Amino acid sequence: MSTASPRIALVTGAARGIGLGIAERLARDGAHVVITDVIPEVEASAKALSAKGHSVTAIIGDVADEAWCVETVARVQRELGALDILVNNAGISPKKDGRKILIRDTDLDSWNKVFAVNITGAFLLCREATPAMQEKGWGRVVNISSQSARTRADIAGSAYAASKSAMIGFSRVLASEVGRSGVTVNCIAPGRIESPMQAVAGAEATREYVSRIPVGRIGVAADIAATVAFLTSDEAGFITGATLDVTGGFFMG
């Protein structure tokens, strides 16, 4: 990432796991990264990255809160400048005893909460951030979808799979609206990745998954971070509206 001044990036759900890995990669490549999460741990994560010499700022908040999304983008613009990169990574996937919750057992409040975090939050932040990207003629949006949106969901529940499918459709529409302004919008659909979220399903689920994956391992945060780094680079300017499957070959679509 070589620009006259550091690019400004916002990564949600970045206190740990995939989001933290993405944030560290972007920071290592020279961006000033704002990391957000609903859990206070995000502040310690920012301090740890800053201690490595990276330029990282933390903001605590819930992407499902419209007022917070509006103020967060406005705050970044006031303090750092217009966003260049937005990575919508925040997501939740409710489980029951480590297993997906069946549709017949899913209550409406739980369904709505998953959609509020997994897709509505992305919509709100994109709505607030992309106009400034369009004005300056350059921007990169990467929305984290899921393998569960691409094929049968064995571990994720219906709300998670449906919300991640919605992410792909939303991203395609946004890509078509902002593309002529130099802004690209793409999705990444990760397979099983080492993270606090996947750990809930347990070791047996991981072993069974590995037995069916061509590369013979589950993914790590760095696999997703490297994909984000490419999609947010100048070299990826001709890619938009796409969904990149990062699954080790588990899904080949």
Q: For the segment 96-147, what is each residue's pLDDT rounded down to a tens digit?
A: 888 899 999 999 999 999 999 999 999 999 999 999 999 999 999 999 999 9
Q: For the segment 48-73, what is each residue's pLDDT rounded down to a tens digit?
A: 999 999 999 999 999 999 999 999 99
User: Cα separations (Å) of 53 from 6, 24, 30, 141?
Assistant: 14, 11, 10, 25
Looking at per-residue confidence, does 10 or 2 come out higher?
10
Q: Is the pLDDT of residue 1 over 60?
A: no
Query: Crossing angle of helices 17-28/41-51, nearest 10°?
Result: 30
Catalytic positions, written as ranges:
160
User: Cα separations (Å) of 10 from 25, 75, 83, 142?
Assistant: 13, 12, 7, 10
Q: For the segment 195-208, what is each residue's pLDDT rounded down to a tens digit?
A: 776 666 567 777 87
The domains found in the chain, sorted by start residue, are: 8-246 (3.40.50.720)
